[in-house]
Structure formats: C-alpha cells, structure tokens
Chains A and B, each alone.
Chain A
C-alpha cells in the first residue's frame, strides 16, 4: 500500500480514485462521529433519567432547593464571628475580639488534643492487629488457600462497616466515652490497613524468604527476618496516612457519644450557639491541616529512606 497521496501525481486517471478515497474516508468519519454522538446522547439520557429519579427519591425538588438554599447561606453566615477591627486583640470581656470569640479555647484545645490521642491510640491498635493479620492474608505467604480466603474476607468485613456504626454499637457495650470511640475506629482500621498491608507483603521480594526457609527457619522466623524488614517503611507510611484519616473520623465520632471534640460540637450545634460552632469548626480544620502537614513530611521521610 503506497498511501493515498503517494500515487496521486502518477497520471490523470488516478485523480478520480483519490477523490473517491477521500470521499469515502469522509463518509466513514461522519458515520463514526454520528455513532459516537448517538452513544453520548444515549448514555447521557440514561444518566439524566437516573439523576431525575435520584432527585425525586432524595426529595430534591426545585421548590425545596429554592426554599432551602437561602437558609443554608443564612446559616453559614451566622457561623461567622462578629469581629470588630478596633477591638480585635482586646481581652475576653470585649465583644468583637478574637479572645471573646474563642473564649473557651482552653477547653476546646484540650478536647482537640483528646481527639488526636483517640485517633492515635485507635490507629496503633488497628495497625497492630492488621500487622498480625496481613501475613496470612497475603497470597504468597498464606499456608494454604483456605487461610488466605478467610483472612481476606474477614478484613473486608471489618473494613466495610463504617466506624460510626461500630461506635453506635460499642457505646452500648462500653458506655459513653472515648473508649467506645477508640475501639470503633480501631475495628475499621484493622480492615482498611490489613488489606493495604497484605498488598505490600504480596509485592515483597521472595528470595530472602526462601533463604530463611532453606536455612531451616520456621514460618514466623521467615516473616520476621525476610519480610518485615522489606515492608516496614511502607507499613509505616500507610499507618501515618490512616492516622490522618482517623483524626478526621475522631472529630465526628463524638456525635454518637464516643468522646472527643465531636461531642462538644454536637452540643453547640443542637443549641444553635452559632459563633461557637464557627470557632470549633475552624479549630478542627486547623488542627486537621496541621496534623496532615506533619504526617505528610514524615511519610515522605519514611518512604524516602527506603
């Protein structure tokens, strides 16, 4: 095949053929773009119908939106503090100062610290259990297929139930307070980290493993001396990532009575203490951002050292 354009100048007789080729190519192109447009239209209308059904099911009517959205704006506007430029740095007694707005900063700071420690302890517990469960849940280390499947499915089960549902149940068992929250977040973390850990283990180099096994080491020794040194940095990085997620989770776990800043936030929201809501949300966002920043640095350092 010489290419359509290549044999064009060969003789006068060739020219009509070229035109025919171009015309048929053009036709094919049009047909394809028409087909594509039809497919887009078809899928688009399916999506639109689904959206309309969803809107009806979730009670999102134009009427409720028109009524609701201004109230949303109004509500979030009320959360903003009334600060006065001339009194910004005055004491707690002066209206319009930062100190007046954040008048319970000491209590809130302590609750935020508690929240971060709930997240830390829960992450530690979850990571500890996940670190034990991940080796039999890795396809390359599991003694047999049954153990592998059971471990994987169990981790999946733990992962799919949201931590707030665990918290709702555990508050009944352990009573109101941080303990229920810690166990709730830890349970979800086991599932989430266990899967990630197992995937890291599956990607590990198996030659050290064979070396330890050949030298007479048993399964536990082989895991300890051949696999753990390889996977430890990645494990640590995932643990830090999970810690960031769990800090977010711990801020709301208090909504169901499981400790932390969430309990206080729930109270001020239900009592409509607007400026306090704004203050607490701002503090949460700042703390979460700060923890993310530090954790991100640590993660980069850990994985970079590998």
Chain B
C-alpha cells in the first residue's frame, strides 16, 4: 500500500514539480538573489560608513537633542514664527493658483484629443516629464539666486515646480473625457472652441478643481521647508533656530507646522465637499 503511495507521489512529482516546492534551479536563483542582496547591502553600509561607533555616537547625540526639545517653547520671537506660518500659507496658495492658471492651457496642449498631431503630443508630454524631474527645492534655490531672498522666490518655485505636474494631470483628465459630448456640439454646428467650452470643460472642471485643492494642501507642506534655502516662510525660522540649536523652539515650530497642515487639510476637505460633493 505504502509503496503504491510512494510511487504515486513520485509520479505526481514528475508531472508537477512546482507543486512540491521550488525546483532546484529556482532554489539556486533565490539563493543567488539573497547573496547578491546581502553583498549590495554590506557594500553600501561600508561605503556610507555605518560603523557601530558612529551609530552609537549619532544616536546618543540625537537623544540629547530630543531631550532638549521638550518642553517646546515659542521663544522670544513668536511673532516672527507666526508671520512665517502666514507667509508659508500665502506662498502655497498663490503658487498653486499661478500653477493652475498656467497649467490650464498647457493641459489642453498636452492632450492628444485636442492636439491631434502625434509628434507634437509626444514632444509636449516629454517636456512636462523633464520639468517634473526637478525638485521644488532646486527651483527655490535657483529663484533665490535670480530674484533674491524672500517669499517671492518661494512663490515662483512652487508655481514652476507644479506647472508640469498639473499640466500632465490636466492633460490626462482631458484625454479621459467622453468624446461624445464634444461631438454633439460639433454636430449642431458649434466651432471647435465652443466644443471645448461646452463639451469638454464641464467634464474636466471637477477634476481640475480637485487637483487645485490637493495642490494647495501639498504645497502648504512644501512651502514650510522652502525657507531652508532662503525662499521665505516658516522654513527660514526653523533653519535659523536649528543653526543656533534652540531645540525647544524647533519642536514648537514643527508642532505648529503640523497644526497648520491639519487646518489647511480640513478647510480643503470642506471646500471640496461643498463644491464637488465628494
């Protein structure tokens, strides 16, 4: 009986080797993969100098900093901190608005149902991709050099960095719009611009509005750090206090940023519910 079963098992094993666990080749591949991973990890840790001593020193240094952070304190210049927060929110709002206004026509340019030429469509889209690769802080640093320190550089950086992102999203929204509504306008004799206004725009407008609100939220977060490179806002305050190691004030500012982000998120959610109903 058991011999029959053993023969059965052998027969099934021959027919479906994968059902009995990984094959020899598969096991070898996994093993090689694991070894390669460990070697890569070890090489990186060695390259970046992750010695136990350095880790220990760093962690104890961090502990000292954390201990000096509590209790958080507003310090003497709390008025400047509050002004920095206002500046950050203003920069985010203005930058997002400029980005949306510029990205709006660009989105139509990048949509393949508006600009039908494949080569033009492809090259416009690649331009969007190219500009998306640049982080907001790089823009901020460049604008600080161009227009000087201050929130103006921050506004321009937010706008410049988000234009390409928004243009791509808008273009995708326009491409996903239902073409029958524009066809209907054309069929009753509407010109192309009218077809876009009454056939396309009503479909994509809610998407654009949602994106606008989301941009305000996300840019409030990023506007809080642009000051690190001198582009205005609360980031400048935090960077200055870190330089002179006023850790209790640093924690206070971080907590204020958390509150600010939460407040902006709540307002944005309210507006979204009110206008889009979602």
Interface residues of chain A, those whose CB is within 8 Å of chain B, are 50-51, 53-55, 57-60, 64-65, 67-68, 71-72, 74-76, 79, 117-118, 120-121, 124, 157, 160-162, 164-165, 168-170, 172-175, 177-179, 182, 248-249, 251-252, 255-256, 259, 265-266, 269, 272, 277, 281, 284-286, 288-289, 292
Contact = CB atoms under 8 A, between A and B. Distances in A.
Contacts of B228: 164-165, 168, 255-256
Kindly name the residue among B61, B142, B143, B221 whose own CB sees the greatest number of chain A CB atoms within 10 A. Answer: B142
A294 to B, nearest CB: 14
Given A169-B242, A175-B58, A50 B93 contact: yes
B130 to A, nearest CB: 6
B239 A179 contact: no
A179 B54 contact: yes
Interface in B239-254: 239, 242, 245, 250, 254
A60 B221 contact: no
Given A124-B41, A179-B58, A284-B134, 10 more contacts: A53-B90, A57-B90, A60-B151, A162-B225, A164-B228, A170-B58, A174-B57, A248-B135, A255-B137, A284-B138
A284 B139 CA distance: 13
A289 B127 CA distance: 11
B156 interface: yes
Contacts of A76: 142, 146
Contacts of B41: 121, 124
A124 B182 CA distance: 48
Which residue, A51, A55, A59, A248, has most C-beta atoms of chain B within 10 A? A59
A173 B65 contact: yes
B154 interface: yes
Interface of B: 41, 44, 47-50, 54, 57-59, 61-62, 65, 86-87, 89-91, 93-94, 97, 129-131, 133-135, 137-138, 141-143, 145-148, 150-152, 154-156, 221-222, 224-225, 228-229, 232, 238-239, 242, 245, 250, 254, 257-258, 261
Contact of B154 (A58, A157, A178): A58
Main SS of chain B's interface residues?
helix
A174 B86 CA distance: 32
Nearest to A282: B130
A109 to B, nearest CB: 16
18 contacts: A51-B93, A53-B90, A58-B154, A68-B156, A71-B146, A76-B142, A117-B47, A161-B258, A162-B221, A162-B224, A173-B61, A174-B57, A175-B54, A177-B48, A177-B49, A269-B145, A285-B130, A289-B130
B138 A59 contact: no
Contacts of A292: 133
Contacts of B258: 157, 160-161
Contacts of B62: 169-170, 173-174
A281 B47 CA distance: 25
A288 B133 contact: yes
Nearest to B141: A269
B224 A75 contact: no
Contacts of A164: 137, 225, 228
A137 B97 CA distance: 36
B145 A162 contact: no
Contacts of A172: 61, 65, 242, 245
B63 to A, nearest CB: 9
B94 A165 contact: no
Contacts of A121: 41, 44, 48
A170 B247 CA distance: 12
Contacts of A178: 48
Contacts of A79: 142
Contacts of B87: 57-58
B142 A269 contact: yes
B134 A281 contact: yes
B133 A64 contact: no
A75 B141 CA distance: 12
Contacts of A161: 254, 257-258
Contacts of B222: 162
Q: Which 3 A-B pairs have the closest CB atoms?
A: A75-B146, A54-B90, A174-B58
Contact of B91 (A58, A173, A175): A58
Contacts of A157: 258
Nearest to B245: A172
Contacts of B58: 170, 173-175, 179
A256 B225 CA distance: 12
Contacts of A182: 48
Contacts of A54: 89-91, 93-94
Contacts of A168: 228, 238-239, 242
A72 B242 contact: no
Contact of A58 (B47, B59, B151): B151
A50 B93 CA distance: 9
